Amino acid sequence: MRLHLPTFADLSSSYPIINGLSQPWRSVACDLANRDLVGKSRKLPMSCLVTLCDHGIGSSAYSRKPHQYTWTMAIRASEGLLPISSQVASVFNVGMSRYFEQLGHVTHGKIGKTLDLLAGDALEPPRMLRGMALGKEQMELIDSPVVYLSDIGSGNDLSAESLVYRLSGNPLVELASPKSQHAEFKDLISQIEIQGTHAFDYLLRLGGYDTAFCFGAITAAAQQGKLVFVEGWSSIAALVLAHKMFPAILDHVWIVSPIQCPVFEYIIQEYPFKVLFKEPSPFEGGFFAPHVRQVLENIASHLLF
């Protein structure tokens, strides 16, 4: 499978302000300049795309979130109480176990139920491909050249760290499961057999439908030359998966803030992922989105002159 990504020349010499910025702001400024997003508007358009998905492992004893977590956050989204509510946002249900069609401000596009990865394959191949296609479709519907991508879900942390752990190929990396159950959980994940060597085989066995959706969204955004900021367990896991297949994807994607999990810290140190904020988000469910918008608009306003 091949992905044709747009390439951009380094235009930093055209914008002297860039050379006066410290990292990572200089890199962000270069990314904005390379996409010709400056000089058009003081208001840099940024859309938000957030998935809702329950993972079967979220009902296990290893889960750090209550099973009703996703539903609670969906209600908050419908009432406009998430930090992304002031943004141009789309909250998309890809696999909630509980959902009402009439829930306001939430789009219903359920792909299927992500099964418990400890009991067998978490995903079904046709539904996984449907999830990727749906992510691609939703990204293509977004006009904004800059997109914030995140996820909400019970069990998405265990699913994502299990997927990234196995993709890392390093058995010495620690997991962030509760200390009392850490060794037991790590042994279970280490012993899971993956049928095949393709990155999608790992996604089928350990991922979630939100991960598949985010993978489709990220790769579609890269093909369109958009700049994507990812925040959240499943969206970052999707980026790791995409990077495994298409290393050049990192030219198009930023990780908003790090996740306090050894396997994610290892991946970020091992590969040239770009990280915007050094500290994890202090907000429930992540959502540095308002701060990302402020950073981008401040940089863009400097680049206009």
Domains of the chain, by residue range, sit at: 44-303
Contact 276, 227 (CB under 8 A): no
**Number of other residues whose CB lies within 10 A of the CB of residue 267:** 24
Give the whole-angstrom CA distance, residue 139 versus residue 129: 15
Query: Which one, of 70, 66, 176, 50, lies nearest residue 113 by Cα?
Result: 70
The identity of residue 250, as a single letter, is L
Full-model pTM: 0.86
Tell me 55's DSSP state: B
If you ran DSSP here, which 8-state letter would residue 229 be given?
Answer: E
In the prediction, which pLDDT does 6 show? 36
User: What span, in angstroms and rounded, lies between the C-alpha atoms of 188 and 292?
Assistant: 37
Give pLDDT, residue 222.
92
Number of helices followed by number of strands (H, E) in the chain: 11, 6
| In contact, 229 and 145? CB cutoff 8 Å | no
CB-hemisphere CA count at 13 Å for 137?
A: 8
Q: What fold does the segment set 44-303 form as a domain?
A: Rossmann fold (3.40.50)
pLDDT at 4: 46
Token pair for residue 159? 């699913």
Q: What is the DSSP track for 178-192?
A: -GGGHHHHHHHHHH-
Q: How far apart are CA 158 and CA 290, in angstroms?
A: 27
Q: What is the pLDDT of residues 9-68, one digit of tens each?
A: 333 333 343 344 456 666 776 776 666 554 444 456 788 999 999 999 998 888 888 888
Amino acid 84: pLDDT: 73
Residue 14's pLDDT is 38
Are residues 66 and 149 in contact, defined by beta-carbon separation less than 8 angstroms?
Answer: no
The pLDDT of residue 259 is: 83
Residue ranges for the chain with pLDDT beneath 70:
1-26, 29, 32-44, 85-88, 176-182, 280-287, 300-305
Residue type present at position 19: N
